[in-house]
Structure 1
Amino acid sequence: MNRIDRKFAQLKEKGEKALIPFVTAGDPNLETTEKLVLAMFSAGADLMEIGVPFSDPVAEGPVIQRASSRALNSGTTLIKIFALVKKLRKKTDEPILLMLYLNSIFRFGKERFFGLCSANGVDGVIVPDMPFEERDEILGTAEKYGVISISMVAPTSHERIAMIASSAKGFLYCVSSTGVTGTRNRFTTDFDAFFGAIHRAAKVPCAVGFGISDPEQAERMASYCDGVIVGSALVKIVEREGANSVIPAADFVKSLCGAVKGVKSES
């Protein structure tokens, strides 16, 4: 069983929700990224998203755009990120996903990319600029190497929600609101309607991301689904603290876990 499936099965058995943090690989450097990932797992994170820096991250707001620039300026490459995951695998068996853009996979080569994902312990990939209808561009190769391609669904998916949710593997990434990533003070999405459509069709757990910035928002979002994804709020800590961000980031994750884990799952 893939680590992603196993983790959600374990959480369901305990009646708990998942916390899934995000960091940009190489921001401010890969050594700090390694420490951040391990510290977040120790603080209670269940799965980890590692962002692959890209020169034109169209789905990202300014916080993660700046993180990508810092990471690229520090010399971060996909090869170095695979080496990072290989090092992490000596210290943790928790699920690790890469979030990256489709062009990064194509430029690297699909076979080479997914082969190295498998060899180094990457469990899944999230490709935010890949339309659902074009998922076959990578799906066959990902499955060949045992890597889960995570589907994304947004409130603007409308009549496509059922189609996307019913075919999802691992977990379904539910985008909380329209626009790019970034912390938000309020959400305008009708979550009862959005998640109602998702739960009628999804055969896998659902996790919500984009804009969740504090424990209160995380707790509210956890009431709708099986997991909460937090990115920009953590990247802001890394931006502010740099190489000294490990402890404050872990403390923030701990506070998020306290909020999310307190929301009981339906058995």
Structure 2
Amino acid sequence: MPLELVPIRCLTDNFAWLVHGNGQTALIDAPEAAPILAELAARGWSLDLIALTHHHDDHIQAVPDLVAMTGAKVMGNADDAARLPPLDISTRPGETVTICGEEAAVIDVSGHTIGHVAYHLPGSKMAFTADSLMAIGCGRLFEGTPEMMWESLSRLNALPGETLICSGHDYCRGNGAFALSIEPGNDALRQRLAETAAGNRICARATLDEERATNPFLRIAELREALAMGSADDVAVFAEIRARKDRF
């Protein structure tokens, strides 16, 4: 049976994700303790594992309180351990870990930060991408290069199209407005934004196929000519779109 997935809004615009199944519960990222503890209590679940994607405070700052309250183990990228809370389970990109009894691939998605990882659970068709591939966007390049982020997005884009992409923030309004500014004729994008505005969906949760149809950072081929970059390679087109988003 696929694992149960529960999105939790935290802080101003963060999402944490609870995953439950096989008698276990895991949390992907820990922005804020109170809403996470409230959700666990409402469902009568104990917390067994906290899987971290990257070191930014709005993804890790609730770890000490959650560990103290639940005794959960903490998992993260050993290569970035110096910037993460103490790890009980160290992993690295390319390895396979277990989340709620299901195998999960650890994927290098550096770019937003160096050492950022995503977790792909093929059995449940879910990927937790935090601030790499995001809803109708991607994370700012605080530490990495355009080449690095494009490689990361390409790894994620190679996953099956039905994979549910669970990202770390609700930036739908700003990302959607920018996407429309460079591709105003994208009907799939307009429909997705309308459904989100009507409260019929959570923008931070969409299939990879939906992202391919609406996310400008996965639509390099479609946007190359529109940006008058017909002879440019993929990295250059990606870098131009990212620079325009930064100025938007």
With the shorter chain as reference, the TM-score category is 0.3 to 0.5
User: Larger helix proportion, structure 1 or 2?
Assistant: 1
- Higher alpha-carbon Rg: 2
In terms of fraction of residues, the more strand-rich structure is: 2
Larger RCO: Structure 1 or Structure 2 (Cα < 8 Å, ≥ 6 residues apart)? 1
Calculate the TM-score normalised by the size of structure 1: 0.32
